[in-house]
Amino acid sequence: MRPRLVDWTLFVLAGLVAASGFGAWLLLDAQAAPVIAIHAAAGLAILVPLAWKFRRVRPRITRASAWDWRTPLSLFTAIAAIGSVATGVFWTHAQAPTGYPNGMHLHIVFGIALIVSIVLHVTLRFKLPSRRDLQGRRDALRWLGMLGFGALLLPAQHVANHALNLPGAQRRFTGSRGAGDDTGPAMPITNWMFDRPAPIDVTTWRLTVRGAVERPLTLTIDDLQRDDWTTTLRATLDCTGGWHSTQDWRGVRVGNLLDRAGVRPAARFVSFVSVTGYRWSLPLDEAREALLATHYEDVPLEHWHGAPLRLVAPGRRGFMWVKWVGEVVVLAEPDPGQWIAIFTSGLSG
């Protein structure tokens, strides 16, 4: 097979893996499932052209006389590629500890290193593909064989997981492992970056509902616990860091609050802002179905789980379940600044 064909196959597969890796975080569960499957399948399939490429470039590495200034970068790319696949497989299939940092964090670090090094690698060695690269039936068949063999790796892994009852067989489709259900306060605690707020004094705490609404609201904790306001919702928190837990949450449906405040026609998103500055938004219709919870499993939330009020966003990854909510802001536009807020909140007092 022509080297350039193998290189382009690697490049396209790597792009697919990177894009699906980000999609896995951001999409709703139902949409994320096939994207995560593509991520895993393409991530394993890439091993086949990678092995091919390593065989080809081995003399350029093993013979010192063949080294040039680009060789270290190529080695770095190779290490990042192997590290990405190895940490991905390890994290989703082994019984690794869920602490911080864990296998998922390593996977993200290797993945980002890989994206950076591929961009550099391609900039330095770029060659456009041409039709000649896929000429000849034998080459085309070999190429298809390579892809086909790669595509079988994930199903083979699944069969092995179930036959040998490996830990990977018990994982949720996101790769997260169960951390116990209906456990209330014993649920794991995860803070994304720097949020370490002091416990909130509920006698002075207020929830404000503002933005594109007719009647802004200021509510006390007692308002939010009135029997005729509250409902329960069973939902699964699935942290990107690799664990999941299902609880019965109790609180006020966001749609209920929005109806009381009267949403203006321009409204499109609802942002949930923590007292720490952390914030995330959901599209209006989805936000209506979310819950602002004061309780789990019939007990009040514990401080580190976001007391007095946290967002429960069914079907969304855990990092969107804003804790210590102080404001609900109805928006007419998306909020790109939330991407900065989740990385910097907690740093300013």
Ligand X SMILES: Nc1nc2c(c(=O)[nH]1)N[C@H]1C(S)=C(S)[C@@H](COP(=O)(O)O)O[C@H]1N2
Kindly report the number of other CB atoms within 10 A of residue 238's CB atom. Answer: 25
Binding flag, residue 236, ligand X (CB under 6 A): no
104 binds ligand X (CB under 6 A): no
Tokens of 8: 């382009």
CA distances from 234 to 206, 237, 251, 257, 314 (A): 25, 10, 11, 19, 9
Q: How far is CA 255 from CA 37, 172, 218, 251, 258, in A?
A: 33, 29, 16, 12, 5
Residues binding ligand X: what is the number (CB under 6 A)?
Answer: 20
Using the rule CB under 5 A, is 345 a contact of Mo ion? no
Between 227 and 266, how does the x/- string for binding to Mo ion read (CB under 5 A)? ------------xxx-------------------------
Question: Residue 204: what are its φ and ψ, rounded to 5°?
Answer: -105, -20
Q: Stretches 31-39, 191-199, 251-259, 263-271: which one binds ligand X (CB under 6 A)?
A: 191-199
Mask 319-348, x = binds ligand X (CB under 6 A)? x-xxxx------------------------
Q: Which of 84, 190, 236, 281 binds Mo ion (CB under 5 A)?
A: 190
Interaction between residue 249 and ligand X (CB under 6 A) = no
Does the footprint of ligand X cover residue 77 (CB under 6 A)?
Answer: no
What are 222's two structure tokens? 């007692």
Q: Which residue is nearest to ligand X (CB)?
A: 318
Q: How far apart are CA 225 and CA 227, in angstroms?
A: 6
Give whichever of 46 and 282 is closer to Mo ion, judged by the CB atom. 282
Judged by CB under 5 A, the residue of 243, 272, 319, 324 near Mo ion is: 319
Tokens 């009647």: give the residue: 215
- Dihedrals phi, psi of 267, to nearest 5 degrees: -60, 135
Total Cβ atoms within 10 A of residue 95: 9
In the complex, the residues that contact ligand X under the rule CB under 6 A are 187-192, 195, 237, 239, 274, 276, 278, 305-306, 318-319, 321-324
In the complex, the residues that contact Mo ion under the rule CB under 5 A are 190, 239-241, 318-319
